[in-house]
Amino acid sequence: MSILKVNNLNAWFGEHRALNNIKLSFDSNKVTALIGPSGCGKSTFIRCLNRLHEETPGASASGQVILQGENIYVAGVDPVRIRRKVGMVFQKPNPFPALSVFDNVVAGLRLAGIGRKSILRDVAEKSLKLAALWDEVKDKLNQPGTSLSGGQQQRLCIARALAVEPPVLLMDEPTSALDPISTAKIEELVLSLKKEITIIIVTHNMQQAARVSDKTAFFLLGELIEFGDTSQIFTVPKEKKTEEYITGKFG
């Protein structure tokens, strides 16, 4: 069942068109990998899915992004509310530097007006366990989030995103700045988290896409070239451009 549908999505940076009439559908509790060379529109696409794209000066978008039956681009829709439902994990870990591990995790809840300590404690523990970080930080909850290792910081950012219970989680190259051991932990985490939520992950790592995703979408020059089951995309792609990219002929 589709949790998120994209119809005729276009995006611009000023006069430059970054996305051209993208149509995609994302199923609940599945991982979709977005692949393609740098500058092809992958990151712009996922930033349109929670209305972060429009935060860039001069940027704009048109089309439909339908989340659980609601078009998030209809006039009057609050982007902040949408971003609680469509979480985002960025390329580089970005814990809030002035906050402790605990306060990083519950920051979104506090912004939503939830201040009861028992609720915050329960959510923090649950979110850190979901992010496979609890055992490593349960005795460091009052230490700065920035005191953790790079891989731990990225899992802390995942816990922070999960704390507000979004049905969809976006991940923009979440392991590109991490060592192989931390990368493996994040990949294991992605596979376990799809029981809870729908994940869309941008990656330049073909092996990673093959390991963690159920579906794969190949982008090129702002166009969606091919979308299908990951096993099919990587073994018998329908489009010649997809085959050429996967086999390393360009990109």
Q: Domains of the chain, with CATH numbers? A: 2-94+154-246 (3.40.50.300)
pLDDT at 224: 98
- Kindly report the average pLDDT of the chain as a whole number: 95
Specify whether the CB–CB gap between 10 and 63 falls below 8 A.
yes
Task: Give the CA distances from residue 237 to residues 24, 220, 229, 246, in Å, rounded to whole numbers and listed in that order.
Answer: 17, 15, 10, 9
pLDDT at 101: 98
pTM above 0.85? yes
Q: What is the DSSP string of 88-109?
A: EE-SS----TTSBHHHHHTHHH
Is the pLDDT confidence value at 26 over 90? yes
pLDDT at 1: 81
**Per-residue confidence band for 249, with pLDDT thresholds at 50, 70 and 90:** confident
The arithmetic mean of pLDDT across residues 93-104, rounded, is 96
Pick the residue with more confidence: 248 or 5? Answer: 5
pLDDT at 115: 86
The arithmetic mean of pLDDT across residues 148-155, rounded, is 96
User: Element (H or E) spanning 151, and its range?
Assistant: helix 150-162
What are the residues whose beta carbons fall under 8 Å from the beta carbon of 108, sequence distance 6 or more?
Answer: 84, 160, 161, 163, 164
Is the pLDDT confidence value at 250 over 80? no
pLDDT at 93: 94
pLDDT tens per residue across span 154-202: 999 999 999 999 999 999 999 998 999 999 999 999 999 999 999 999 9
Determine how β-strand 223-229 pairs with β-strand 215-220.
Answer: antiparallel
pLDDT tens per residue across span 233-247: 999 999 999 999 999
